């Protein structure tokens, strides 16, 4: 399952951006989506930087597997999730 978040409509509303990002991350976890496509748009690149800073927060970073920047469209990011590990095996090596 793939979810999509287009930030074009709220690009200049900082708190709404954070709420939208957290919402799509939570939805991906709830629905066990393997991929979230986030579209900050091309613009000046500031919104993309904000999204990457959000995703890099410690409490957010532990929720997903990896972030991929689209090589063909730099106005798009992919956040990959992994739900295949059995519950007893998560967090090994801590």
The string of DSSP codes covering 20-72 is HHHHHHHHHHHHT-SEEEEE--STTSHHHHHHHHHHTSHHHHTTSSEEEE-SS
- Which pLDDT band holds residue 85 (cuts at 50, 70, 90)? low
- Write down the CATH number for the domain with range 2-80: 3.30.1370.110
Overall pTM surpassing 0.85 (yes/no): no
Per-residue confidence (pLDDT) for residue 24, from 0 to 100: 97
Per-residue confidence (pLDDT) for residue 51, from 0 to 100: 94
pLDDT tens column, 56-75:
999 999 999 999 998 888 88
Per-residue confidence (pLDDT) for residue 38, from 0 to 100: 96
pLDDT tens column, 13-47:
778 899 999 999 999 999 999 999 999 987 788 89
């Amino acid at each position: 399952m793939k979810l999509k978040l287009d930030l074009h409509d709220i690009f200049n509303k900082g708190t709404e951006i954070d709420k939208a990002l957290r919402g799509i991350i939570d939805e991906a976890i709830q629905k066990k989506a393997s991929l979230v496509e986030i579209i900050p748009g091309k613009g000046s690149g500031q919104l993309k930087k904000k999204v990457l800073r959000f995703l890099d927060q410690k409490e957010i970073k532990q929720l997903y597997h990896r972030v991929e920047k689209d090589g063909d469209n730099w106005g798009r990011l992919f956040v990959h999730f992994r739900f295949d590990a059995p519950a007893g095996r998560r967090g090994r090596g801590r």
